[in-house]
Amino acid sequence: MNDLDALVQTAQVDFAQATTPAQLEDAKARYTGKSGRLTELLKGLSALAVDEKKTRGAAINEAKQRIEAALNERRRGLAEAELQAQLKAEALDVTLPGRRRGSAGLHPVSLTLERIEQIFGSMGFDVADGPEIETDWYSFTALNNPENHPARSMQDTFYVDMQDDAGRPLCLRPHTSPMQIRYARQHAARHAATMAVGQPMPEIRVIAPGRTYRVDSDATHSPMFHQCEGLWIGENVSFKDLKVVFTDFFRTFFETRDLELRFRPSFFPFTEPSAEVDIAFASGPLQGRWLEVAGSGQVHPNVVRNFGLDPERYIGFAFGMGPDRLTMLRYGVNDLRLFFDGDLRFLSQFN
C-alpha cells in the first residue's frame, strides 16, 4: 500500500468515526483544510522534477477525489441518520385511541327551563324575556311595594351604580315579577282599541323565566339564581285555575301522578290572597316531605291597575317558582352552588 492509499484509508476511518456533521467537518479540515494533509502534499509538489510532478500530482488528485467521495458519502449517511432520528422522535402511533372532541350539552338548569317552557307552552302560555338590570319602579313600586319595604334594602337587593331616566336607582332584578308589569302593559296597550269598544281583551297567559339576583349565599342560596314568573289574567280567572295549572305542571314536570300540592297562606305585596306552594311526593326518596316550590297569589288590584287594566273587570293570578330548586329535586342534587361552579365533572352528568 503506498502512502496515498494509506492516507485515503485513514480519512475513511476518520470520517466514519464522526457522528455529527460538525465532527465530520472538523475531520474534513484535517485533509483538505488550509494545512490539511492533502494540501500539504500538494504544496510538496513544487519541489519535484517536471515528470515526477505529473505522475505524483495525478496520484494526489486521485486520492483527493476518493477522500471527497468518502466525505460526501458520510455526509449523506449522517443526514439520513438525522432524518431517521427525527422521524422516530415525531412518530405517530396510529394504533393509539383518538382524542375525542368533548361534546357540549345543556346546563341542568337550562334543561329545567326548557322543560318549564315546554309544559306551560302546551297549556297556552307565552314565554317572555326581560331586562336583568331593572328600575326601582318595575321591581318594587309597580308591584305595590310600599316605599319602605324591606325587600328594597341594600341587604337584599344589589343596586347598580346607575340611574333610570327619572334619576331613580337601578338594581339587578331581585325577582322576575317586574315581567308581570312589562308584559301586561304591552299586552294591554296592544289591545287598548279592542277594550275601548267594550270587547274583552284576549287573556294574558305568560311565563317569564330568567336570572335573578339577591344578596344571599349558602348551600341553598346563590347571589344569582333563577326564577320563572307566571301570569294569567282574564275576566274570569280564579285561584281554582291556578290550582289546576300548578297541579298539572308539577305532575308533568316530575312525571308522576303521586304528587300532592299544598297552598299555604302567605304574604306578597303584589298578590292578595297569597299562597306559598308546597309539593310532596307519595313515593320515592323525597316521600312525605313538604317542599316549597313557588310563591303565588291572586294579583292585587293595585297591580292590575299598573298593568293598565281595570281591576273591577280583570282578575287573575301570578306565581314565581324556582327552577334551580326544581332541578335539585329532579336530579337529587343537594348543593345549589354546584350548578354555578362550572365543574365539568358535575355538569357533564346531565347530558
**Binding residues for ligand PHE, per CB under 6 A?**
175, 177, 268, 271, 295-297, 318-320
Please state the closest distance from residue 143 (CB atom) to ligand PHE, in A.
8
Q: Which is nearer to ligand PHE, 74 or 300 (CB)?
A: 300
Tell me how far, at minimum, the Cβ of 350 lies from ligand PHE, in Å.
26
Residue 77 burial (10 A CB sphere; 0-12, 13-18, 19+): middle
Which residue has its beta carbon closest to ligand PHE?
A: 320
Residue 282 CB burial class (10 angstroms; 0-12, 13-18, ≥19): exposed
- CB of 255 vs ligand PHE, minimal distance in Å: 25
- If the CB atoms of residues 232 and 253 are measured against ligand PHE, the closer one turns out to be 232
Given the complex with ligand PHE, which of 31 and 246 has the nearer CB atom? 246
Nearer Cβ to ligand PHE, position 125 or 319?
Answer: 319
Grid cell at residue 324: 334551580
- Residue 197's identity, in one-letter code, is V
Q: Cell 458519502 belongs to which residue?
A: 73
Give the helix/strand (H/E) hosting 58.
Answer: helix 50-89
CB of 291 to ligand PHE, least distance (A): 15
Q: Quick one: CA torsion of 133, 138, 140, 145, rounded to 10 degrees?
A: 180
Q: % helix / strand / coil in the chain, to the nearest 5?
A: 45, 20, 30
| In the complex, minimum distance from the CB of residue 322 to ligand PHE, in angstroms, rounded to a whole number | 8
Closest distance to ligand PHE from the beta carbon of 295 (Å): 3
Smaller CB separation from ligand PHE, 175 or 205:
175
Amino acid identity, position 92: L
Task: Give the three-class secondary structure for 66.
Answer: helix
**Residue 247 vs 266, nearer CB to ligand PHE:** 266
Minimal distance, residue 179 CB to ligand PHE, in Å: 10
C-alpha grid cell for residue 87?
422521524
- Residue whose CB is less far from ligand PHE, 70 or 294: 294
